[in-house]
Each structure stands twice: as C-alpha cells, then as structure tokens.
Structure 1
Amino acid sequence: MNPLRHALKEWAVAIRAMERGLTALAVRKGGIREKAFAVERERFLLFPSYEHQNPEQLKPGFHGILEETRGGRDDGPVRFTSFAEVHRAYEISDEETLQALDPYHVWTREYAESRLKWRPKKPLTILVLRNYLLPEPVEIPYSESYGGCKSWIPLERGIPVEGARPAIGDAEFERLTAPALRVLETAKAAPVG
C-alpha cells in the first residue's frame, strides 16, 4: 500500500469516534477558504483539528471523547492515527434527510442544520467512511501550509499506512452503516476522486 500524502481535516473527537466504530459519517460543506466541498480522494488520512471543537455542537454521548482530545493544538505536531476510505458519498439539500441521519453522526441536530444552511445554494456532503487504524501513530512537524479553514491538506511527505487494520470488522461496519445508507438510498451520489 502506497504512503498517503493527502488528509481530510476533521474534528479530533469525530476521528476518535470513527476509530471506535461509533460512527462512520462525516458531514461536510467545506471550509471558509473553499467555494464548495469536493471529495478529492477515495483514500486519505484523517487530520485531527481541535480549534473549532465545541461541546455545545456535539451530542452529549461524545463529550467524554471530546475531553480526551483536550490539550490538542492545531499549530503543534500533527499526530495521525488512522486513514479512511470513502465507502459512499452523497449530496443532500433538505432538512428532512438530514434529520433522518441525526442518530448516525456525532453533531447536534442544531449544528448539523447550521452546516446545511451555511451557503444554502451548495449541498451538504455526507461521507460514509471506512476507518483504518495505523499500526502505530505517526507524528509529523506542523507546517504553516496545514493551517486555516480548509478541508483538504496536501502533506509535505507521505505517511506509510502498510499494516493498517480496519477499525471494526466487516459485519460490524455493515450494521453501523446500514441504517444511514437506507436514509440515503434516494440521495444524489457525490463524485469521488
């Protein structure tokens, strides 16, 4: 398996929840510097972000995981613990579908709805991700190019992922994602890659 050189910036708490098999969904609209969100790659590292994590925007059941991420810094060394493969990607624009997905992601209903309403002419992208744990965490120095409100981070060097293993088994992943995939079966597929 080739080293990965691209990463998706995501709340550290959401990454840990994916690594533990508690969710497989990422809800994306793009960063302030981006005109829209596009799924650039099928496989990418998960780049932990700490700056915007807010307990009021997170369901109470994930507050314990949030506490575990306290002290992380966006301008310090970057520690990678997993990568993701896009299992499916969809675009939604209606509150009804988003509300039906509420049980399957980490964010509060209000925060998810605020993401849908931000830049209302652009759809919200729902990523169904299969998470893979690296054999050991890999830490790299922080670079100024990694900063800012953007989704995709091209890394200065590739991160080896050889020996990574699925965070959860195939049957458990199917059980975890099946209810959300039923909600999304009529949604528009988002282009990947």
Structure 2
Amino acid sequence: MGSPRQGTLRHALKEWAVAVRALERGATALVIRKGGIREKAFAVPRRRFLLLPGYEHQRPELLKPEFRDLMEGLSGLDDSGPLRFTSLAEVHAAYEISEPESLEAIDPHHMWTRRYAESRFRWRPKKPLTVLLLRTYLLPEPVELPYREAYGGCKSWIELEEEVPVAGARPALDDEAFERLAAPALAVLRDLEPAPVGG
C-alpha cells in the first residue's frame, strides 16, 4: 500500500469541514456515514484518500457542545469555490452499525449529537451506518484545485482530475496519542460487523 506520507492521491472523501477540522486537530478519529442522496449505499473503495471539506449540510446544533467551537469561520461558506485540501486519511478500522444499541454504545466517541446520529441511522433503514476510524495526516502545504461540476452534488467520493502530492504529510497525532484516542472507540467497535474496505 505504501506509506501514507508518500506518492499522490486522486480520490477524496467529501466530509463536513468541521469534521475534517476535528480530525486534523486530533479531537476525534471517528466518521459516521450512510452515503449521499446519489448513492445506493456507502462503500469504502480506498483505504487511503484525501479529505475534502464540505460546507452545505453542517450546522452547529448538530454537533455536541464541546465541538461547536470548531465551526468558527466555517459558517456561510459553500462548496462552489476551489477545492482546498489540507489532509489525507487512512482507514484504521471500519465497522457497520445495524442496531440502535450499537449506535448508542459509540455515542461517547463521535462528535455528533445523539439526535442527529439517530436521524442518520433511521434514513434508509435497511442500510447500515458505516463507522470509519481514521488516522489523519496533514499535508505540508494546502493544495488548491479548480472546482469542476463533476465534483458537486450530494455524494461521498470524488475522483479528481489532477493528482495531489502527499509526500511529507505528517500524522495529526503521534502514535501514542492516536492509540489513546482510538482505543476506547475500538473497544466498542470490535463487537460490530466489519465493513469492507477497498485496496
């Protein structure tokens, strides 16, 4: 697979900008997904990908109070400008949530309010939620790419027309700090069904 700090990437996960900021600052390692409106289900085609901040759906009241300060400077922005990348992520673990009890068990470990997490769980009830435990790496310099119409819309993954160099990316958290953050969530997640992750 190669080091997360080498080579180039063309695939990006579109995630709330506030969640990307939380991942980059080591405030969380968990992302919970169910796919965009244009997708039949959420799948994880790559183990390593860029994080693309999105602005359309995020609102402070959907976040737990301790994460709301991370919204500073992100309100009023939209997804029509240049794409700006500051980080990449590698899937450390991935699991599926199909039962309300499992969603409740991971509540202490993610940034969304219980009500919002439950609303995502109930949307398309036959499809499980996917929980990604991500190790985040910061790019040495921000990379900006022009916006293209193909990148828009409510979808999780985009394939970029240009390669983004990731050489020199450094972990948002050192190994010890990441293990401290990830271990409590993993203790809960290990009892769930693993989600398939691409190469």
The aligned counterpart of 2:65 is 60
Does 2:136 correspond to 1:139? no
Deviates more, 1:63-72 or 1:94-103: 63-72
What letter corresponds to residue 112 of structure 1 in structure 2? A
Structure 1: which 5+ residue stretches go unaligned?
none
State TM-score, norm by structure 1.
0.98
Cα-Cα RMSD: 0.8
Runs of 4 or more consecutive aligned structure 1 residues displaced over 3 Å after TM superposition: none
Deviations 1:57-115 (A, max 9, x none): 11111211112322432000111000000000001111111112112111111111111
What letter corresponds to residue 108 of structure 2 in structure 1? P
The aligned counterpart of 2:91 is 86
Measured in 2, the distance between the counterparts of 1:100 and 1:66 equals 26
The aligned counterpart of 1:123 is 128
The aligned counterpart of 1:109 is 114
Shift of residue 2, structure 1, vs aligned partner: 2.0
What letter corresponds to residue 126 of structure 1 in structure 2? V
| SS of match in other structure, 1:69 | coil
Measured in 1, the distance between the counterparts of 2:7 and 2:76 equals 32
Measured in 2, the distance between the counterparts of 1:160 and 1:154 equals 14
Does 2:184 correspond to 1:179? yes
Structure 2: which 5+ residue stretches go unaligned?
1-5
Shift of residue 166, structure 1, vs aligned partner: 0.3
Measured in 2, the distance between the counterparts of 1:69 and 1:54 equals 10
1:77 to 51, 71, 82: 82
Measured in 1, the distance between the counterparts of 2:194 and 2:95 equals 4
| SS of match in other structure, 2:186 | helix
Measured in 2, the distance between the counterparts of 1:70 and 1:100 equals 30
Count of aligned positions: 193
Does 2:11 correspond to 1:10? no
What letter corresponds to residue 29 of structure 2 in structure 1? A
Does 2:25 correspond to 1:20? yes
What letter corresponds to residue 141 of structure 1 in structure 2? P
| SS of match in other structure, 1:149 | coil
The aligned counterpart of 2:50 is 45
Deviations 1:99-137 (A, max 9, x none): 121121111111111111111111100000000000011
Measured in 2, the distance between the counterparts of 1:158 and 1:69 equals 26
Measured in 2, the distance between the counterparts of 1:90 and 1:10 equals 18
Shift of residue 31, structure 1, vs aligned partner: 0.3
State TM-score, norm by structure 2.
0.95
The aligned counterpart of 1:97 is 102
Measured in 2, the distance between the counterparts of 1:164 and 1:71 equals 29
